[in-house]
Chains A and B, each alone.
Chain A
Amino acid sequence: EPEVTQTPSHQVTQMGQEVILRCVPISNHLYFYWYRQILGQKVEFLVSFYNNEISEKSEIFDDQFSVERPDGSNFTLKIRSTKLEDSAMYFCASSDGLAGGPGETQYFGPGTRLLVL
């Protein structure tokens, strides 16, 4: 069964450093998403991406965050200058349809646990 994969599974970084989290969405999917989950809290939407551009983003997704689809398979989330409060589990998701249409179910990867020291 196709699945979303993410690397690395764990990342430890110093405050102020840049991190890049990587995702390989399900191969025929066209819509890509990043979510985060701070320990013990609910999953929060960060950004959605379609046709090589951001289609929706939350207040959390400020100028320190960026996303990119550098090739036909990878989807990345970059945090330019990490803060302590960026420590969280980051989930990538993908779907093959728009909300309200067929194939809109979002499938999640296993996550990257980011720890900022």
Chain B
Amino acid sequence: GESVGLHLPTLSVQEGDNSIINCAYSNSASDYFIWYKQESGKGPQFIIDIRSNMDKRQGQRVTVLLNKTVKHLSLQIAATQPGDSAVYFCAENSNEKLTFGTGTRLTIIP
């Protein structure tokens, strides 16, 4: 079946450095993707989204890149802070439901 997944289950980054979290998807018809952040014991928190008619979108300290050719998207976090430590999920939104990837745990090293 169709799936959404992440490349690395864990990632450690020095505070102040940039981080890149990757995600692959299999459904070529997917047209809307979202990155969520989940802190321990909390629900997924919306970070940024992107539609398939775009290949890049920027927010505050975050950038999402979408490569439809290879069905890959990434989340870049600039100048990481301790509060960025969390699990990050990419999700595909279609037919009113979100299909989540497996998540990458990002740890910011002070």
Query: Taking CB as reference atom, which chain A residue is nearest B97?
Result: A45
- A interface, size bucket: 20 to 34
Chain A residues numbered 39-93 whose CB sits less than 8 Å from any CB in chain B: 41-45, 48, 50, 55-56, 58, 91, 93
Contact between chains at B97 and A56 (CB < 8 Å): yes
Give which listed residue, B43, B95, B96, B102, contacts A42 with CB less than 8 A.
Answer: B102
Interface of B is mostly: strand
Flag whether B89 is at the interface (Cβ < 8 A): yes
Flag whether B98 is at the interface (Cβ < 8 A): yes
Residues in A with CB closer than 8 Å to B41 are: 110-111
Flag whether A13 is at the interface (Cβ < 8 A): no
Residues in A with CB closer than 8 Å to B96 are: 31, 33, 48, 50, 55-56, 98-99
Residues in A with CB closer than 8 Å to B45 are: 108
Query: Taking CB as reference atom, which chain A residue is nearest B45?
Result: A108
Contact between chains at A100 and B101 (CB < 8 Å): no
Contact between chains at A99 and B43 (CB < 8 Å): no
Tell me, rounded to whole Å, the shortest Cβ–Cβ distance linking B27 to chain A: 14
A104 to B97, CA, bound (A): 10
Residues of B within 8 A of A (CB): 31-32, 34, 36, 41-46, 49, 89, 91, 93-103
Q: What are 13 of the A-B contact pairs (CB < 8 Å)? A: A42-B89, A42-B103, A43-B98, A43-B100, A44-B100, A45-B97, A58-B97, A99-B95, A99-B97, A100-B32, A105-B46, A106-B34, A111-B42
Residues of A within 8 A of B (CB): 4, 31, 33, 35, 41-45, 48, 50, 55-56, 58, 91, 93, 98-100, 104-111
